[in-house]
Amino acid sequence: MSTYTVTFMPDNKSIQVEEGTTLLAAQRQAGYAPEAPCGGKGKCGKCMVEILEGGTPGEHKSCTIEVKNDMTIRLSERTMKNQILEKGVSREIEIQPWLPDALKDSSEQVCIAAVDLGTTTIAAYLLDAKDGHRVAVNSCLNPQSPYGADVIIRCEYALAGGSDTLANCVRETINQLIQEMAQEAGISPEQIAGVSLVGNSCMMHLFLHWPVDTLTAAPYYPHCKDPLVAPASEYGIHIHPEGRLWALSVIESFVGADTLACIIATDLEKREKLSLMIDIGTNGELVLSKGGKLLTCSTAAGPALEGAKITYGMRGGTGAIDHVFLDENKKLGYSVIGDVEAVGICGSGLIDLVACLLELEVIDETGFMDEDYQITDKVSLTKQDIRELQLAKGAIAAGIRIMCQLWGITLNDIEEVLIAGAFGNYMNPESACAIGLLPMELSGKVTPIGNAAGEGAKLAILNEREFHRSHELATQVEFLELANRPEFQDTFVDELGFDFED
């Protein structure tokens, strides 16, 4: 088979690829991480490149173009530094981590690590094993993103023979994060005694190399819900040779170890107030807590609130419109991360924008808008974007209502709403209520709790008891399968609109 040279501008970097390689794959081979939310199926249009030489000049979806001769292409400017949320609420615990015998009496500093493996981002923490203080923190985008923005596309990729690729790339990246943190702390990775891991159900399965077939078709259930304690080396993680990997339990279906970690970080089951915790990421997980009882469900909110499936949607990084507001003359204003020209809009900007356009009556209560709304010369909101947002917010709001019905409580009975995750941290709760993502009854009760999943992962590695307690909790949480509830469809349809009269 022939090989050809592909040159990437503006870096002027060249690589050799085999004939028939797509330009999307060529970018990955060259070490780039192009956006490809649809997994290279030609549907999302986020993988655009400009062909300068060797093909029809102009913009093309890189996943649809195969290399048949030498080519020169210009990469999109949308690859930028992302804001990754590393902090969250937590609580004091006794520091008593498990250590291998060889490290128990070490005169050198011994550390432990915690990893929050998100669909979009990975956050890692290095902690001192003696007093638990944070020695280093590191984060990056999940290297699996080019294989699909949402978990289902990635699971399909795994089922089609890509499970090794997905597991290996994420394991390598975690090693890299650990290695960099160790370097920053002036220790060797062999002085790290253990690593805890949390993530949503699909991320845990893909990392642990568990089969994902049961997560891709109804009735969705995990291959395994048990926690895992194993030599880290068996999972390709390079720390002390006897160091362990501590992977927290998956609760059920799509409610994963990350939700469990949020529960332990907030001591949710011990809270006196009737509390609702929401983790909005590429899906929405909800946990209701009352008098020691926990009820959870997962809503197929999709990644719209993280910018995917939105025409000019992007993650919350440089160039993203992150907030939109109306001034005293009802003129629309906005802020852009990094104070640069806007190139897109992230989830918090999107819900602000729709809230403002509802107030201005540009969007009506059914979600209809006469024509696409131009925010800047380059960024607009389309009618389809509003539909995507409606689907996401309808799913979350319906989930909240049905959970309340199941427990025979009203929305007014909820005393506090804890919102985890990056989107929850940056979003304006008023806008979330104005568009019905959160029912109006929850207005004024919202507290962002940051990356609570990461904090839970830390607690689980700082004290072995916390790890085991998390598993006990996982078996006690009542799980609600929304799709099986006869009232779900009607409630979801009711929540799609922006008419909140009753």
Nearer residue to ligand FES within complex by CB, 290 or 309 = 309
Question: Count of residues binding ligand FES (CB under 6 A)?
Answer: 11
The distance of closest approach from Cβ of residue 311 to ligand FES in the complex, given in angstroms and rounded to an integer, is 13
The distance of closest approach from Cβ of residue 17 to ligand FES in the complex, given in angstroms and rounded to an integer, is 17
Asked if residues 254 and 204 have their Cβ atoms less than 8 Å apart, the reply is: no
In the Cβ-directed half-sphere of 226, how many Cα atoms lie within 13 Å? 4
Nearer residue to ligand FES within complex by CB, 43 or 134 = 43
Sole binder of ligand FES in the list 6, 40, 86, 240 (CB under 6 A): 40
Check residue 81 and report its DSSP letter.
P
Q: Does 36 bind ligand FES (CB under 6 A)?
A: yes
Q: Does 45 bind ligand FES (CB under 6 A)?
A: yes
Sole binder of ligand FES in the list 17, 23, 47, 381 (CB under 6 A): 47
Asked if residues 149 and 37 have their Cβ atoms less than 8 Å apart, the reply is: yes
**Please, what sign has the CA dihedral across residues 16, 22, 23, 27?**
negative
Specify the stretch interacting with ligand FES by CB under 6 A; choose among 39-47, 184-192, 300-308, 392-400: 39-47
∠ Cα 39 43 49 (to 5°): 80
Nearer residue to ligand FES within complex by CB, 37 or 199 = 37
Nearer residue to ligand FES within complex by CB, 147 or 207 = 147
Specify the stretch interacting with ligand FES by CB under 6 A; choose among 40-48, 110-118, 242-250, 345-353: 40-48
Nearer residue to ligand FES within complex by CB, 42 or 231 = 42
**Beta carbons within 10 angstroms of residue 172's beta carbon:** 14
Identify any residues that bridge with 255 across adjacent strands, giving them in sequence order. Answer: 252
The distance of closest approach from Cβ of residue 38 to ligand FES in the complex, given in angstroms and rounded to an integer, is 4
Which residues, 6+ apart, have CB-to-CB distance to 447 below 8 Å?
416, 417, 418, 419
Q: Does 42 bind ligand FES (CB under 6 A)?
A: yes
Specify the stretch interacting with ligand FES by CB under 6 A; choose among 42-50, 185-193, 387-395, 401-409: 42-50
**Please, what sign has the CA dihedral across residues 431, 307, 276, 125?**
negative
Helix (H) or strand (E) holding 252: none
In terms of Cα–Cα distance, which of 401, 397, 421 is closest to 409?
A: 401
d(CA 261, CA 268): 10
Identify any residues that bridge with 82 across adjacent strands, giving them in sequence order. Answer: 317
Residue 244, judged by CB atoms within 10 A of its CB (0-12, 13-18, 19+), counts as buried
In terms of Cα–Cα distance, which of 269, 278, 282 is closest to 297?
A: 278
Sole binder of ligand FES in the list 38, 123, 321, 453 (CB under 6 A): 38
Radius of gyration of the chain (CA): 23
Sole binder of ligand FES in the list 23, 63, 99, 496 (CB under 6 A): 63
d(CA 75, CA 82): 18
Q: Does 46 bind ligand FES (CB under 6 A)?
A: yes
**Beta carbons within 10 angstroms of residue 373's beta carbon:** 21
Q: Where are the beta strands (DSSP E) in 1-47?
A: 3-9, 13-18
By rule CB under 6 A, what string of x and - marks binding of each residue 231-270 to ligand FES? Answer: ----------------------------------------
The distance of closest approach from Cβ of residue 312 to ligand FES in the complex, given in angstroms and rounded to an integer, is 15
Q: Does 154 bind ligand FES (CB under 6 A)?
A: no
Specify the stretch interacting with ligand FES by CB under 6 A; choose among 32-40, 247-255, 268-276, 307-315: 32-40
Q: Does 342 bind ligand FES (CB under 6 A)?
A: no
Nearer residue to ligand FES within complex by CB, 40 or 436 = 40
The distance of closest approach from Cβ of residue 158 to ligand FES in the complex, given in angstroms and rounded to an integer, is 17
Q: Where are the beta strands (DSSP E) in 160-208?
A: 192-199
Specify the stretch interacting with ligand FES by CB under 6 A; choose among 35-43, 168-176, 270-278, 399-407: 35-43
Q: Does 17 bind ligand FES (CB under 6 A)?
A: no
* 442-454: b (≥16 Cβ within 10 Å) or e: beebbebbbbbbb
Nearer residue to ligand FES within complex by CB, 62 or 431 = 62
Nearer residue to ligand FES within complex by CB, 154 or 445 = 154
In the Cβ-directed half-sphere of 431, how many Cα atoms lie within 13 Å? 22
Q: Does 13 bind ligand FES (CB under 6 A)?
A: no
d(CA 49, CA 27): 10
By rule CB under 6 A, what string of x and - marks binding of each residue 71-110 to ligand FES? Answer: ----------------------------------------
Sole binder of ligand FES in the list 23, 25, 61, 181 (CB under 6 A): 61
Q: Does 43 bind ligand FES (CB under 6 A)?
A: yes
The binding site for ligand FES (CB under 6 A) comprises 36, 38, 40, 42-47, 61, 63
